Amino acid sequence: MLDLLDGVRVVSFNHFLLGPVAIQALGDLGADVIAVEPKGGAFQRFFAGAGTWVDDQSALLLTGNRNKRSIALDLKTDEGRAVARKLVEQADVVCENFRPGVMEKLGLGYDALKEANPGIIYASASGYGSDGPYAKLAGQDLLIQAMSGLAKITGEASTGPRSVGVSVADHHGAALLALGITSALVRRGRTGKGCKVEVNLLSAAIDLQMESFICYLNAKQKHDITAPARVGGWYYSAPYGMYPVKDGHMAISLAKIDDLARALDAPELREFKDEEAFEKGSGIVEILNRVLPQKTYDEWHVSLAENDIWHTRVNDYDDVVADPQVQHNGSFMTVKGASGSDITLVNHPVRYDGQTAEVRLPPQPLGAQTRDILGEAGYSDADIDALISSGVAVTTP
């Protein structure tokens, strides 16, 4: 079991995707994560992409909620807020991704908490930032992809903008949030000083486009960021992109034009020089779109490999799961879920001394550890019974 964050207690007021996935990473590393949800459960319990449920567990719940203990509180009551405050005063890290101002209204903002716990790491995620003209707007991945230019750069001139096929800003934002929290913990270990860590989806989406933005902002002339005929990014030179072959699609990365002409037996490619591969990329792409569909991927693979051209098959998910390197890396794991049925999860992607994370707790029923957590916070059995009977706290057997 990984113990890199053993002894670190995290209280998480997170919902949707970015916050839960970020804090899940800390739980994977050994932190004691207490997930605080409203009485009815957080959003992730009720949304299931592709209508995927395992028993009564939504796919979104299974995505970012392992290795967490669950407590359910009515934060609209004075008693519920008092419990939450006691929990965060005993924590090393507090994390939330409500809209700016919500935690302050609950009396759980950073300024209030650091008075009681000066060393607290207070992590906050939002759509656009805690202040500024968009601070109060709803931040959601698709909207962020559109606003940040990511949809434009992913599209093609003939079909228009296109979003990335996953909630990429959420996932990258989660990684940045986990990085910020662990960095703040390192400093606190040296100095005892707390920190407020802030991540927003818009900045995360722009960070994903770092290379593209730097090419664009420093170019002598501005370019259309929508690629004319390939899905490889406007700033790459041909042949960089994905192309149809007889039995699917293949990706071709960086390659010299002469090598490519020889591998594909396409002498017409030699009309182009390597230094023209960006400006005249559409002509190269047109030839590849005509030549490559004549053979299968396996047939092309032989000649491309012989000429040391970087390429691969474009996989669907069945191909990915069956891939020998993916299996060797242990990217997917199947464990027994809280309901008793098997659930398949995406594993923590980092190894530490050759070791990957384990699932100490599968995603839990709402309030499964309410009694334990309240007891640890100093409440007596009678107090806990009173909180539950009054509806301030919710527990699940």
**For 335-357, how does the pLDDT look when each residue is reduced to its tens digit (9 = 90+)?**
999 999 999 999 999 999 999 99
Q: Which pLDDT belongs to residue 362?
A: 98
Percentage of the residues of the chain whose pLDDT score is greater than 90: 93
* Catalytic status, residue 32: no
User: What percent of the chain lies above the pLDDT cut of 70?
Assistant: 99
157 pLDDT tier (thresholds 50, 70, 90): confident
What pLDDT score does 226 carry? 87
Q: Return the pLDDT at 230.
A: 61
Superfamily of chain region 9-207+333-394:
Crotonobetainyl-coa:carnitine coa-transferase; domain 1 (3.40.50.10540)
pLDDT of residue 354: 95
Reading the block at residue 19, the tokens are 């916050």
Residue 244 pLDDT class (50, 70, 90 cuts): very high
Write down the catalytic residue from 3, 55, 170, 247. 170
- For residues 230 and 242, is the Cβ–Cβ distance under 8 A? yes
Q: What is the pLDDT of residues 321-337, one digit of tens each?
A: 999 999 999 999 999 99
Rounded mean pLDDT of 252-256?
94
Confidence bin at 44 (pLDDT 50/70/90): very high
pLDDT of the residue at 231: 54
At 190-235, the pLDDT tens digits run: 999 999 999 999 999 999 999 999 999 999 988 899 877 665 788 9
Nearest residue to 150 (alpha-carbon basis) of 132, 137, 165: 165
User: How confident is the model at residue 229, as a pLDDT?
Assistant: 66
**Mean local confidence (pLDDT), 39-51:** 96
Mean pLDDT over all residues of the chain?
96
69 DSSP β-pair partners: 34
Q: Which of 286, 295, 233, 243 is nearest to 264 (CA)?
A: 295
Domain definitions of the chain by residue range: 9-207+333-394, 241-314
pLDDT at 227: 75
Q: Which residues have C-beta within 8 Å of that of residue 50, sequence separation ≥ 6?
A: 59
pLDDT interval class at 269 (50, 70, 90): very high
> What pLDDT, on the 0 to 100 scale, is given for residue 397?
77
- Topology given in CATH for the domain delimited by 241-314: formyl-coa transferase, domain 3 (3.30.1540)
Contacts of 195 (CB under 8 A, 6+ apart): 121, 122, 184, 187, 188
Q: Which residues contact 39 (CB under 8 A, 6 or more apart)?
A: 72, 73, 74, 391, 394
- pLDDT at 175 (0 to 100): 98
Domains 9-207+333-394 and 241-314 share a fold: no
Which pLDDT value is given to residue 156? 85
- In this prediction, residue 232 carries a pLDDT of 72
pLDDT at 163 over 60: yes
